[in-house]
Structure 1
Amino acid sequence: MSNPSPPQAKKEAIKQISSIWLVPVIAVGIGIWMLFQFITSQGPEITLKIDTAEGIEVGKTEIKALNVKVGVVTSVTLNEDYSAIEVTAQMDKDAARMLKDDTLFWVVKPRIGKSGVSGLDTLLSGAYIQLRPGKSENEQRTFKVLDIPPVAPPDAKGLRLILSHNEAGKLGVGDPVLYEGFTVGRVENVSFDTASKKAHYQLFIFEPYNSLIRKRTRFWLTSGVDLQMSAEGFNLKIGSIESLITGGVSFRVPRGREPGELITKQKSKFRLYNNIKEVRERFYEDYLEYVMLFNESVRGLQVGAPVEYRGIRIGTVSKVPLEMIHSDKNFSNKDIPVLVRIELDRVKSHVYYENLEMLKASLKEEFNYGLRASLKTANLLTGALLVDVSLFADEPAYKRQRYGDYDVFPTKAGGFAQIQKEISSFVKKINNLPVEDTLLTLNKTLDTSQQTLLAAEKVAVELNQLLAQKETKAIPGEVRNSLQQLQETLNGFSPDGVPYQNLEQALVQFEQVMAELQPVLRQINEKPNSLIFSGEKAADPIPVGGRQ
């Protein structure tokens, strides 16, 4: 008996998808949406070039604008030639409109500088990079990070000026710009032009002080303490407390000068002077140049020393000494050439001359009348000299001379050199006196006096013998009394007598004086200036900086 086959199950494919798969699908969708939101919310990526990465940390150092976060540092690497640091930062979407070619970046960290103390809030939070939005129409993605914060923004109200000087290092960024001691601006930038070999200093004058800048405004360096020792004596000036620490630059229109038109053009150029004295000197642009030849020491005569006529300044010493052009190899016969300027404006303040030609013709005529220049001590304490011009009626007529390309201004020894010359003349007269002949004559006179006294003594002895005789005693009393008086008179000339002793003592003292005078006369003959200076040779001065 056969068994029936078991029933077979029917297979049927299920077409319905399980709802559990909705969970990963939704998760993927959310991820894609979040990625899209992240990508669309991101701003541009920028590159910052900085000298040092001090205080910069990846993922922590923020970029802020007006204390609002607008980006974050994502990487810090060295550039290809290892000369700088390249910082990559991811900016927010809203920060894209700030990134122009005039946008500025700098690192904010604690600073103690010329402009004060800043960045103290970063002691706890850490350094961050400050962004100052640009105003240009051109976008940019690579920037140079400034070493220090900028003095003023590009669109700040004020005036930018460029000062030029032959030397660098005179000013630094942040140094104050002063007007009558008040800070009205700052040094914004410092650069050096290799073509012109001049340093350029960019200033920013804040509004409304830019109205003080005129065409004839002059700028000069200001140090905290300015001490000058010159022919005028000591000059001490003390600036503001800030300039006392950092220095700075001052400006104004020199007193007595027309200010000129107002300067409104940005980055107008001016010259930077070393001090206010140099500013004043530069206004005397019309002058005559002369060479003065001195046959005395010019030690103490410096460039800038005044040339005066009876105490009134008429010029300035330009160069001490001027290059010698003579071919004579005997150095001791050379005069020292000094170049001076006779300035028209200084002379015109006392005697009017229309131009330099009139001044030159007048000086040429005055030379024939005895106008001469000489050195004169201007300051006994510092030893500074000045050139003194005066009239000497006894001087001979002057014959025009040339020294290279310059006319020669006639000179005359003066001051201490003249005194020394007179002393030398006096010593020569003393040396020419017949001192030795006088001493010989005096010795002969003393010998004659000695013989006379001996003869008188002999007569006195003979007279005593005569009076002792009986025949003499028989002479009447009146005659005897006369002889006795004569004897007493003659006894006074004996060696025991007072006149004889006084005369002998005087002769001894005179011989002692003449013996003591011999070394003095010998020293005067050998060193005529020993009456003023010590005979001992002074030791050479040793510079303080050269001691070890």
Structure 2
Amino acid sequence: MSRPIKQIENMRQVRFNSIWLVPLIALLVAAWMLYQNWSTQGPVITLIASNAEGLEMGKTRLKSRNVDVGRVIDIRLSEDYESAVIKVRMNHGTEQMLRDDAKFWVVKPRIGKEGVSGLGTLLSGAYIDMTPGVKGKQQTDFTILNQPPLSTENEGVRLMLSSTEGSKLDVGALVHFRGYEVGYVEKVGFDSDKGAITYRIVIRSPYDALINSDVQFWMTPGLSLKSSASGFEVRLDSLETFLAGGISFGLPVGRPPGAPVSDMAQFRLFSSKESANNNVYDEFINYVFLFDSNVSGLVPGAAVEFRGVRIGTVLDVPFNGISMDALTSLDTPLIPVRARIEPQRLNAASTSGAMSLQKWNELIEERINKGLRASLKIGNYLNAAKVINIDFVDNPSPIVWKEFEGYQIFPTAPDAFANIENKVVTILDNLSQVPLDSTFKQLGQTMQEANETLRELQALSKSVKQLLDKSETQQLPADLVATINELNLTLQSYQANGQIGRPLKENMESLGRALNELQPLLRQVRENPNTLIFDSKPRVDVQPKAAK
């Protein structure tokens, strides 16, 4: 009995030691910190990238509007080794940012068409930037964009442009209005059915108010060199368009704004502003011009002018719509050119009572009957660019064809160069008919007779002088002696060394030498008249000699 009682007494003597409070408190604090850390952490998201260049586990930050919202905690390869899988721990309270339309991209130094960006990361290192999502469901898996998004603003209007000419523009190319940046190219595609390049562009607000149904779009290359009948034109645009090109738009001159347009409205993209302006005229009369001269220098888009005023546009050189059978049916080989007369160039767009297309057609036909003809004219002698010139001619040739292959025929006349060539041929023909041999013989006889006359005058002058020296002559009356002296002076002036005879002799000798020098040239012209225009003999290429 005594032993159990002793054990009970020993148990009563055991007391709680205060030193155990320290680890207990530490354990409670650690548990609280773990809970606090767990409760303040955000979700873990997964980002898929083509590569993890510049990213480091535990260091690379995730930012939104330059505010830290997360940190990279793990980087590894995907199971198929085709991409990088990046785990990011988001901060607490960022769950609402992770929606379907959230965008992620890596910020690092970049130099491109959009400019220079990310220079601040040269010292701090690359980081991941994001645009918070506002639509769709919350999710944790996203794909990192290869390039930063062009814009985070959804305001404005989106349009679809299609182009069948000109070079391709890239995503990010700028859209300008009178040189001011108002939008950008958002997407580039290709329509195989139309064979056209398509562009989806964004016009930012408030500049979307400039868009209406009558607006025209055209490409604005940074550097353009154009050669036409108007001359050479060099244009240098802004640095951005110089590097990547761009798009401009505007209303045609004199046309009021059209109706407002909605998103994804369709427009045509022209290769140049001039091409856009020429496409404004939707009323025209098509003609085929049959030229019997050289049409080199005449290109599609060239002007059709009436006394220097543009009234139309050349469409096809040569006109492909005419078959070879139709061409061979003509009496003479002619080159067909299709062009159109655009009366709207003369009718003001806002003028009421402007002539209708039928009235213009009747007026032109009436003028053709009165001698209105078309001919080729060089608009610029530096590049030999030609235009079609329409004007009245004297004694016009009769009209042979009224219509050909379904198109009205506009009668033509020889161009200026053809007239010059005809005149040169006529002059050479007349020159070749001149009797040069008989002419030279007559000139030689005339020179001989002139020399004999001068010798006779010299002999007569000597006789008169001898007569004056005689004593009998001195006894004659003074008037008679003075007359004889004047006669002597006159004869002396006609001698070979006199005031009249000497220049006459020199002129006759010069004429003789010139005729002798002209004889080979005149003989060559008579035998081959075209030597006045072309070289008499083709130049032989110099053959290099072999080294010794």
TM-score (norm 1): 0.73
Distance 2:84 2:378 in 1: 62
The letter of the residue matching 1:163 is L
2:284 corresponds to 1:287: yes
Inter-CA distance 195–316: structure 2 relative to 1 (3 Å threshold): closer
Match of 2:315 among 309, 313, 318: 318
In 2, distance between residues paired with 1:331 and 1:77?
78
* Cα-to-partner distance string for 1:509-532 (whole Å, 9 max, x where unaligned): 87993784354343454352x324
> Does the CA-based 8 Å contact 1:107-1:130 persist in structure 2?
yes
Provide the residue aligned with 1:485 in structure 2. none
Residue 491 of structure 1 is matched in structure 2 by: none
Q: Alignment partner of 1:94: what SS?
A: coil
1:367–1:398 Cα contact (<8 Å) kept: no
Equivalent residues in 2 for 1:118-517, closer than 5 Å: 118-155=117-154, 157-166=155-164, 170-194=168-192, 196-263=194-261, 265-323=262-320, 325-327=323-325, 334-348=333-347, 354-433=355-434, 438=438, 513=515, 516-517=518-519
SS in 2 for 1:90: strand
Q: Unaligned stretches of 5+ in structure 1? A: 1-6, 454-496, 541-548
| Residue equivalent to 2:458 | none
How far off its partner does 1:169 sit? 6.0
Question: Pick from 524, 528, 537: which aligns with 1:522?
Answer: 524
SS of the residue aligned with 1:292? strand
| Separation (CA, whole Å) in 1 of partners of 2:196 and 2:85 | 32
Rounded Cα–Cα distance in structure 1 between residues aligned with 2:420 and 2:245 = 46
1: distance between equivalents of 2:342 and 2:317?
18
**Which deviations, in whole Å up to 9, do the C-alpha atoms of 1:411-467 show, x marking residues without a partner?**
11111221012111222233344556x479969x97xx99xx9xxxxxxxxxxxxxx
Long gaps (5+) in structure 2? 453-495, 542-548
2:419 partner SS: helix
Please, which moves more after superposition, 515-524 or 127-136? 515-524
- Taking structure 1 as reference, are residues 75 and 201 closer, same or farther at Cα in structure 2, changes over 3 Å only? farther
Q: Structure 1's 173 and 326: CA in aligned 2 closer, same or farther, altered over 3 A?
A: closer
Kept in 2: contact 1:292–1:338 (CA 8 A) = yes
Give CA-to-partner distance per residue, 1:63-122, whole Å, 9 cap, x none: 111222222334444556665444333333422211122111111112334444332322
Instruction: Tell me by how many angstroms 1:288 deviates.
Output: 1.8
Residues 4-153 of structure 1 aligned to structure 2 (within 5 Å): 41-79=40-78, 84-153=83-152
Asked if 2 retains the 8 angstrom alpha-carbon contact of 1:213 and 1:262, the reply is yes
Is this contact kept in 2: 1:367–1:397, CA < 8 A? no
Deviation at 1:391, TM superposition (A): 1.5
* 1:246 CA displacement: 4.7
Identity value in percent: 35
Q: Residues 301 and 386 of structure 1 are in contact (CA less than 8 Å); yes or no, is this contact kept in structure 2?
A: yes
- State the secondary structure of the residue aligned to 1:301: coil
Aligned equivalents of 1:45 and 1:231: distance in 2? Answer: 68
- Contact (CA 8 Å) 1:431, 1:521: kept in 2 or not? no
Q: SS of 1:219's equivalent?
A: strand
Q: CA RMSD for the aligned pairs?
A: 4.5
The change in CA–CA distance for 1:97 and 1:18 in structure 2 (over 3 A counts) is: farther
Q: Tell me which amino acid in the other structure corresponds to 2:524.
A: R
Shift of the alpha carbon at 1:308? 0.7
**Partners of 2:144 and 2:297 in 1: how far apart?**
52
Q: Distance in 2 between matches of 1:403 and 1:539?
A: 47
Q: Which moved more, 1:253-262 or 1:124-133?
A: 253-262
Task: Tell me the amino acid that sits aligned with residue 137 of structure 2.
Answer: N
Q: Residue 344 of structure 1 contacts residue 353 of structure 1 at CA under 8 Å; is this kept in 2?
A: no
Give the AA of the match of 1:46.
I
CA distance in 2, matches of 1:167, 1:96: 48
Deviations 1:301-351 (A, max 9, x none): 122111111122111111222236334789996322222111131243599
Q: When the two structures are superposed, what TM-score results if normalisation uses the length of structure 2?
A: 0.73
